[in-house]
């Protein structure tokens, strides 16, 4: 290394072994301003050598002009590894217009709907096939999932249903008492719990509890490449992971909805007995008179449809996860929000059934 007329002349090999020595020698010339670096006598260079050239050029950026006599092989290495060759241009992105945003959202949701449709079809198909052919499923997986989704949710669903029944009955009892129509409390509580609050309260709790667990489990498997491992072993992830959850929630949801309805009505019964002084016989008689088989059937059907929506949405967001742990958290949050939104929309659609009478 030497400097002649503001030109640094390098020779030999410039690599990770020689760069430390070159840096030490360069300390003697830091006060001088360079305009050129002559590489004619350089035999070879690696990424460390290119970094050394970059450092010199940056320290003399006010005066430096260019590299001289660059051999062809050296030139290619510099183009590959030099950070100075990368030009970062500040691009001002134009803000999308209102119509463009609508169009982007349309295509985004269209793609999501198509993906969910394919996923739903595949899950339902393999669930039906799984009844007759257990190949590709874990042994007793449906029973295990039924315990996780159904039995372990009994406590929270039962408790909140009772509290909700008590609250509705208390709020209504004070108003009904003013008009001397306390007996109709049984009618109101029964209709509300069976037609609306039983199914939707159960669905929201299951979405927050089991839907989030489904999304986070599948998202974690996707991030840790367990899904890819299943595919390599010729195991269908839908059939192996999702179908047991789908079958389990299909079996458990009607039972959980029934539990919610019964306990919620029981809360109304307690208020009727201790606050309105109604007899148990009167309350039960009014409940049996107002409820019809179609009301109960629609409530159970609601529960099944809500359950399917929760599993499909949780699975969709689980498979769409990107990134690491942060992506899993985002996918879980998005699945719970989307599941609750879907439950409310589906409940509104079911409510159209009652317009006729």
pLDDT at position 23, please? 81
Residue 153 lies in a domain: yes
pLDDT at position 335, please? 93
For residue 34, give its domain range.
2-85
CA distance 325 to 206: 23
Residue 339 lies in a domain: yes
Residues 56 and 160 in one domain: no
Residues 26 and 126 in one domain: no
Residue 41 sits at φ, ψ, to 5 deg, of: -95, 10
- The per-residue b/e assignment along 128-141, b for 16 or more CB within 10 angstroms, e otherwise, is eebeeeeebbeeeb
Last residue of a domain, one of 41, 68, 85: 85
pLDDT at position 121, please? 92
Residue 42 lies in a domain: yes
CATH value at residue 53: 3.30.750.24
Residues 60 and 131 in one domain: no
Residues 177 and 35 in one domain: no
pLDDT at position 136, please? 64
Tell me the pLDDT tens digit for each residue of 35-60.
778 888 888 888 888 888 888 888 77
Residues 68 and 134 in one domain: no
pLDDT averaged over the chain?
A: 85
Per-residue pLDDT band at 310 (split at 50, 70, 90): very high
Residues 59 and 120 in one domain: no
How many folded domains does the chain comprise? Answer: 2
Residue 269 lies in a domain: yes
Residue 319 lies in a domain: yes
Residue 98 lies in a domain: no
Residue 91 lies in a domain: no
Q: What is the mean pLDDT of residues 265-286?
A: 89
pLDDT at position 332, please? 92
Residues 172 and 224 in one domain: yes
Tell me the pLDDT tens digit for each residue of 156-189.
999 999 999 999 998 888 888 878 777 888 889 9
Residues 30 and 116 in one domain: no
Residues 74 and 205 in one domain: no
pLDDT at position 302, please? 93
Tell me the pLDDT tens digit for each residue of 5-45.
778 888 888 888 888 888 887 777 777 777 778 888 888 88
Residues 162 and 300 in one domain: yes
Q: What is the mean pLDDT of residues 73-97?
A: 67
- Which range has the worst mean pLDDT, 35-39, 116-120, 131-135, 253-257? 131-135
Residue 97 lies in a domain: no
pLDDT at position 314, please? 94
Residues 53 and 135 in one domain: no
Residues 241 and 340 in one domain: yes
CA distance 244 to 144: 9
pLDDT at position 214, please? 93
Here the tokens at position 264 are: 């919620």
Question: What is the DSSP track for 114-173?
Answer: HHHHHHHHHHHHHHHHHHH--TTS-TTHHHHHHHHHTGGGHHHHHHHHHHHHHHHHHHHH
CA distance 298 to 226: 39
């Amino acid at each position: 290394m030497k400097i002649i007329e503001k030109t640094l002349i390098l020779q030999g090999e410039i690599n990770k072994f020689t760069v430390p020595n070159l840096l030490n020698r360069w300390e003697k010339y830091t006060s001088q301003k360079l305009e050129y670096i002559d590489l004619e006598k350089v035999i070879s260079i690696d990424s460390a050598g290119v970094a050394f050239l970059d450092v010199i050029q940056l320290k003399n950026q006010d005066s430096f002009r260019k590299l001289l006599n660059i051999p062809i092989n050296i030139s290619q290495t510099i183009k590959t590894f030099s950070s100075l060759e990368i030009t970062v241009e500040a691009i001002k992105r134009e803000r999308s217009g209102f119509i463009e945003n609508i169009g982007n959202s349309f295509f985004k949701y269209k793609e999501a709907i198509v993906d969910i449709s394919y996923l739903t079809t595949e899950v339902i198909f393999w669930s039906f096939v799984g009844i007759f052919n257990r190949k590709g499923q874990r042994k007793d997986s449906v029973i295990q999932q039924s315990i996780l989704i159904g039995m372990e949710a009994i406590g929270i669903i039962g408790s909140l249903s009772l509290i909700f029944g008590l609250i509705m009955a208390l709020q209504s009892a004070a108003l009904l008492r003013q008009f001397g129509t306390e007996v109709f409390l049984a009618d109101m509580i029964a209709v509300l719990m069976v037609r609306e609050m039983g199914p939707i309260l159960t669905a929201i709790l299951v979405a927050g509890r089991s839907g989030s667990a489904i999304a986070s489990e599948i998202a974690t498997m996707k991030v840790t490449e367990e899904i890819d491992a299943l595919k390599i072993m010729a195991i269908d992830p839908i059939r192996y992971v999702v179908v047991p959850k789908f079958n389990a929630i299909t079996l458990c949801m009607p039972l959980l909805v029934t539990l919610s309805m019964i306990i919620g009505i029981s809360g109304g019964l307690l208020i009727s007995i201790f606050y309105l002084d109604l007899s148990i016989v009167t309350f039960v008689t009014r409940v049996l008179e107002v409820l019809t088989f179609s009301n109960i059937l629609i409530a159970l059907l609601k529960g099944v449809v809500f359950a399917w929506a929760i599993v499909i949405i949780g699975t969709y967001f689980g498979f769409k996860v990107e990134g690491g742990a942060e992506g899993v958290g985002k996918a879980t949050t998005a699945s719970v929000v989307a599941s609750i939104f879907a439950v409310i929309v589906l409940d509104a659609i079911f409510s159209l059934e009652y317009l006729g009478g």
